[in-house]
Amino acid sequence: MEKKISRREFLRASAATGAILSMAPCITLAEEPKPIQLLTPQPGSGSSLMQLLWKRKSSREFSPRPLPIEVLSNLLWAGFGINRPDGRRTAPTASNKQEIDIYVAAANGVYLYDAKANLLKPVLAEDIRAMTGRQSYVKDAAVNLIYVADFSKMGDGTNEEKILLSAAATGLISENVYLYCASEGLATVVRANIEKPALASVMKLRPDQKITLAQSVGYPKKTS
Ligand SMILES: Cc1cc2nc3c(=O)[nH]c(=O)nc-3n(C[C@H](O)[C@H](O)[C@H](O)COP(=O)(O)O)c2cc1C
């Protein structure tokens, strides 16, 4: 069951841990990263699906402005949060295997999204954003989501089947993220151009954890 806390409780807890991503530039990487309790997802801008589809696009120019915790919470929930009491998610997966994990690479480290606990679990106290893609803009995005398929959750299918099904699931999650970004005026681009072995190595992934895609998300760079 998702733990709900009020915004006031959250801010108190965040102040105690220093673990709020919107304050990321203040956190030194030497500090041991702590779990970050995400906020309960909010209804959002109220734009209709048709309006969001008109706005959906890829953008590759990012402002350094960090994402407030409420935006990050909504983003992750929109992408692959739990939307039903039986634990099913905002994106479908073949046979409901839920094999995709979302890692969040931010300025103050890498976290794993735990949808059930509505929590970000610290994985690495390092800024690896530049390593999440071969293109120079990826280091500028407030966060880079790294989609990782856990083949150990996918049963006895062939490797080829697992690659296909996990790629499809990633695409569905990614489109949810695109639509959330369209609703909030955020810039985003999903990416395949990744040095996967190097990234998997720095993330200390197991051999049966496969990086599928990454997705940069942040505020758009001001153009004035
Ligand atoms: C599976 C997939 C992989 C992609 N890989 C990259 C990438 O590595 N780098 C990049 O800048 N854009 C990447 N894109 C974004 C596409 O270039 C973009 O969707 C396309 O140019 C159409 O633009 P639009 O999203 O604004 O409609 C990828 C898109 C998809 C669906």
What is the mean predicted confidence (pLDDT) over 117-121? 98
Q: What is the largest CA-CA distance in the chain?
A: 54
Does 162 score more than 80 pLDDT? yes
Q: What is the pLDDT of residue 31?
A: 60
The label of the residue with tokens 């991503």 reads 21
Q: What is the pLDDT of residue 43?
A: 81
Q: What is the C-alpha to C-alpha distance for residues 134 and 214, in angstroms, rounded to an integer?
A: 11
The tens digit of pLDDT for each residue in 35-71 reads 999 999 988 778 999 999 999 999 999 999 999 999 9
Q: Which atom of ligand 1 is nearest to the CA of 60?
A: 11
Does 174 score more than 60 pLDDT? yes
Task: Tell whether ligand 1 has an atom less than 6 A from the beta carbon of residue 134.
Answer: no
What is the mean predicted confidence (pLDDT) over 111-136? 98
Q: 124-150 b/e with 16+ CB inside 10 Å = b? A: beebbbebbbeeebbbbbbbbbbbbbb
Structure tokens at 3: 């733990």
Does 113 score more than 70 pLDDT? yes
Does 114 score more than 80 pLDDT? yes
Distance (Å) from CA 60 to ligand 1 centroid: 10
Sheet holding 209-218, edge to edge: 36-37, 119-124, 109-114, 100-106, 143-150, 209-218, 187-191
Q: What is the C-alpha to C-alpha distance for residues 138 and 62, in angstroms, rounded to an integer?
A: 9
**Which residue's alpha carbon is nearest to atom 18 within ligand 1?**
58
Does 27 score more than 80 pLDDT? no
Q: What is the pLDDT of residue 25?
A: 37
Residues 6+ apart with CB under 8 A from 214: 132, 133, 138, 144, 145, 146, 147, 190, 191, 194
% of the chain at pLDDT higher than 90: 81
Q: Which residues pair with 220 in a beta bridge?
A: 62
Torsion of CA 187, 58, 56, 149, to 10 degrees: -90
What is the mean predicted confidence (pLDDT) over 105-114? 97
Q: Which atom of ligand 1 is nearest to the CA of 194?
A: 8
DSSP assignment of 19-30 equals --GGGGGGS-TT
Closest CA to 55 of 214, 222, 185: 185
What is the mean predicted confidence (pLDDT) over 139-158? 97
